[in-house]
């Protein structure tokens, strides 16, 4: 959705109705996660994808129907469908797609949501998918305001509270309520899609490896900052466009920088005078991943220095060192792939093993 919003925002501003299909639930080896979106606009223009090609034709027709004035639709596609090979997911998964029309009258908050996402402001969109509430009704929830309606004040109050909680985590998924927002009922299904600001990647050490890690971090959707105490190395021209470059002592910069449970920290300095104070700070604050470059001998020496600085075994266990997965990497670009692979594996609980050596679903069910 984040990728197609610039186009959709233009259609919306021009008052052009369009059909918007959003994946709201998946099972087994579904090719796209909840939140994946596809829209059909003027002159049958299509942006986005809900399945990577498996069911796009059927969804295209549904989007045209709702854009022409039809009611919102909730459809499930899967391998077990009667016509699996024409509109089903031949990979064996199943996706549930909500298809609704978007116009200023039907969705008064859509333009504001598109503007907030473009500006990096956090917002969650709650959309009714099933139940006695109006299907396709939306409520946009910011930390300090809401826009839209779900048709019942009690439902809106419960959804607003949950949406703000999900926004803090950057989470997306279905939630269930009673008609007036009762927590222990499931008459109404509401899809909460959070647009939190991109997670941060903090890369310390302005070396060739840092440039490669910064490039792949930007590709993965992180907001990347490279920090080094040496101004001669910490220059923007050495790094990809859009990467922030800071010339400061690493531990002092980190001490004054907010991190959260999505933040990635890559320490590539492998110099004790930088590493020890920096990692002492890093290992005592929220982060999804903390990795440090160096040989096994360097790691042993570093771990001893960190223990001497007062870090506990529990704190030291968070450190990924030597950094990356064992890919046999040599060049900075190969090492960056190794680091990125470890970050992705840790994020989703992957083993890092070749898929040919594993069993079960390629894309196992993931909770938000």
Instruction: For 315-348, write each residue's pLDDT tens digit.
Output: 999 999 999 999 999 999 999 999 999 999 998 8
Taking the alpha carbons of 126, 129, 132, 138 in that order, is the dihedral positive or negative?
A: positive
pLDDT band for position 31 (50/70/90)? low
pLDDT band for position 13 (50/70/90)? very high
**Rounded Cα gap, residues 72 and 89, in angstroms:** 22
The interaxial angle of helices 296-308 and 272-282, nearest 10 deg, is 60
Average pLDDT on 39-62 reads 87
pLDDT at 184 > cutoff 90: no
Contacts of 112 (CB under 8 A, 6+ apart): 140, 147
* pLDDT computed for residue 362 by the predictor: 65
**pLDDT, mean over the chain:** 89
pTM of the model: 0.67
pLDDT band for position 189 (50/70/90)? very high
**Rounded Cα gap, residues 41 and 231, in angstroms:** 49
Q: Counting beta carbons within 10 angstroms of the beta carbon of residue 24, is it exposed (0 to 12), middle (13 to 18) or buried (19 or more)?
A: buried
The Cβ of residue 5 has, within 10 Å, a number of other Cβ atoms equal to: 22
Q: b or e along 220-239 (b: 16 or more beta carbons within 10 Å of the residue's beta carbon)?
A: bebbbbbbbbeeeebeeebb
pLDDT for 244-257, tens place per residue? 999 999 999 999 99
* pLDDT computed for residue 255 by the predictor: 96
Average pLDDT on 185-190 reads 94
pLDDT at 42 > cutoff 50: yes
Q: Which residue has the tokens 């109050």?
A: 157
The Cβ of residue 253 has, within 10 Å, a number of other Cβ atoms equal to: 19
End-to-end CA distance of the chain: 16
pLDDT for 356-368, tens place per residue? 988 876 655 544 3
**Rounded Cα gap, residues 63 and 176, in angstroms:** 25
Average pLDDT on 44-59 reads 85
Phi, psi of 64 (to 5 degrees): -60, -40
On whether the CB atoms of residues 8 and 72 are closer than 8 A, the answer is no
On whether the CB atoms of residues 255 and 246 are closer than 8 A, the answer is no
Q: Which two tokens stand for residue 14?
A: 């021009």
Q: In angstroms, what CA-CA distances link 247 with 2, 27, 224, 320?
A: 32, 46, 14, 25
Average pLDDT on 185-196 reads 93
pLDDT at 161 > cutoff 90: yes
């Amino acid at each position: 959705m984040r990728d197609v919003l610039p186009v959709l925002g233009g259609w919306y501003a021009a008052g052009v109705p369009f059909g918007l299909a959003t994946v709201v639930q998946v099972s087994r080896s579904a090719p796209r996660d909840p939140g994946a979106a596809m829209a059909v606009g003027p002159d049958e223009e299509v942006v986005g994808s809900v399945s990577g090609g498996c069911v796009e034709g059927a969804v295209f027709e549904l989007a045209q129907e709702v854009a022409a004035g039809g009611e919102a639709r909730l459809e499930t596609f899967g391998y077990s469908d009667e016509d699996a090979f024409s509109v089903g997911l031949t990979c064996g998964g199943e996706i549930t797609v909500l298809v609704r029309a978007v116009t200023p009258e039907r969705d008064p908050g859509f333009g504001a949501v598109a503007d907030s996402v473009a500006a990096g402001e956090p917002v969650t969109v709650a959309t009714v998918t099933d139940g006695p509430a109006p299907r396709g009704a939306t409520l946009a929830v910011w930390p300090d305001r809401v826009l839209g309606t779900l048709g019942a004040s009690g439902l809106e109050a419960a959804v607003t509270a949950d949406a703000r909680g999900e926004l803090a985590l950057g989470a997306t998924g279905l939630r269930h309520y009673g008609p007036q927002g009762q927590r222990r009922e499931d008459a109404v299904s509401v899809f909460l899609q959070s647009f939190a600001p991109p997670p941060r990647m903090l890369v310390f050490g302005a070396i060739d490896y840092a440039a490669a890690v910064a490039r792949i971090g930007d590709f993965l959707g992180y907001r990347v900052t490279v920090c080094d105490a040496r101004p001669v190395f910490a220059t923007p021209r050495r790094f990809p466009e859009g990467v922030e470059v800071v010339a400061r002592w690493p531990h002092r910069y980190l001490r004054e920088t907010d991190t959260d449970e999505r933040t990635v920290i890559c320490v590539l300095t492998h110099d004790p005078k930088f590493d020890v104070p920096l990692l002492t700070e890093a290992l005592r604050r929220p982060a999804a991943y903390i990795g440090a470059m160096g040989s096994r001998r360097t790691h042993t020496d570093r771990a001893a220095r960190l223990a001497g600085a007062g870090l506990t075994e529990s704190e030291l266990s968070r450190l990924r060192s030597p950094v990356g997965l064992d890919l046999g990497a040599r060049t900075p670009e190969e090492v960056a792939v190794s680091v990125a692979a470890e970050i992705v594996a840790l994020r989703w609980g992957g083993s890092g093993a070749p898929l040919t050596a594993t069993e079960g679903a390629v894309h196992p069910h993931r909770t938000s």
